Amino acid sequence: MIKYALICDHDHAFEGWFANSSDFDDQRERGVLACPVCGSLAVRKQIMAPAVAGTKAQKAGGAEGIQAAGMMMEALGKLRSHVEDTFDYMGDRFADEARAIHEGRSEDRGIYGEASPKEVRGLIEDGIQVAPLPPAAPKKSEIN
């Protein structure tokens, strides 16, 4: 896990946790990385000093950091499972159905699916609340 200090184009600062360094770029390119305050998709990394610790600090805090990251991943996995178990999957029709629900043309319910960055920007600009779904846990065969 890697933590980045992030900021949107409206100067809202927040943190984001990613599976690896390329995960940030991937999420931003897909348009699923949004500011939690305003929903802006114009998110970038802030300049931050690396966390460098000596051997004593690593021994003291290393296990706690690993445990905290594990707890966070477990919570995100539960959130994803809840959405998949209780929301309706729309596939690539997500943006159209979200707009129909917002406009009262479709039943009000939880949905999830895929949307292009352009579709996500359009939904947010029209005041339709959307949020990226946490990534699925890596398959055991993909872990070193």
pLDDT above 90 covers a percentage of the chain that reads 36
Predicted confidence (pLDDT) per residue in 19-43, tens digit? 887 888 888 888 888 888 888 899 9
Question: pTM, whole model, 2 decimals?
Answer: 0.54
Q: Mean pLDDT, to the nearest integer, of 125-136?
A: 88
C-alpha neighbours within 13 Å on the C-beta side of residue 95: 16
The predicted model gives 41-70 an average pLDDT of 70
pLDDT of residue 22: 86
